[in-house]
C-alpha cells in the first residue's frame, strides 16, 4: 500500500511525496496535480521540477533533427487529421 507525506505548511500548495508499493517515490505538486516519480525523493522532485517547467512553457522546441534522432521522418505525413490538441 502506498503512503504519502507532505512537504511544507501551505494547505493549498507544496509537494506530496508518495512511497509506492514497488519502493519508488512519486512527487505530486498539490497546486497543479502534476506528478513524476523516481527511485528517491530527490530524483522524483527533480523530475517534477522538469515537468512543471515544461508546463509553464519553458524548454526548447523540438526540431526536425530531434525527430530524426528519435527514428521518425519529419517529412512523412499520413492522411489522418491531427487531434484537436495538436492543431
32-85 pLDDT tens trace: 999 999 999 999 999 999 999 989 988 888 889 988 898 888 887 665 676 777
CA 87, CA 80: separation in Å to the nearest integer? 13
pLDDT band for position 19 (cuts 50, 70, 90): very high
Is 60 exceeded by the pLDDT of residue 28?
yes
Identify any residues that bridge with 61 across adjacent strands, giving them in sequence order: none
Query: What pLDDT shows up at residue 81?
Result: 72
The per-residue pLDDT for 40 is 96
Express the helix, strand and coil content of the chain in percent, nearest 5 each. 30, 20, 50
pLDDT, residue 1, reads 43
pTM surpassing 0.75? no
Q: How far apart are CA 16 and CA 8, in angstroms?
A: 9
Amino acid at each position: 500500500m502506498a503512503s504519502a507525506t507532505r512537504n511544507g505548511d501551505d494547505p493549498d500548495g507544496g509537494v506530496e511525496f508518495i512511497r509506492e508499493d514497488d519502493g519508488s517515490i512519486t512527487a505530486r505538486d498539490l497546486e497543479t496535480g502534476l506528478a513524476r516519480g523516481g527511485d528517491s525523493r530527490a530524483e522524483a522532485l527533480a523530475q517534477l521540477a522538469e515537468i512543471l517547467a515544461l508546463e509553464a512553457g519553458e524548454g526548447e522546441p523540438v526540431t526536425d533533427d530531434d525527430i530524426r534522432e528519435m527514428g521518425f521522418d519529419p517529412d512523412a505525413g499520413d492522411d489522418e487529421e491531427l487531434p484537436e490538441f495538436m492543431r
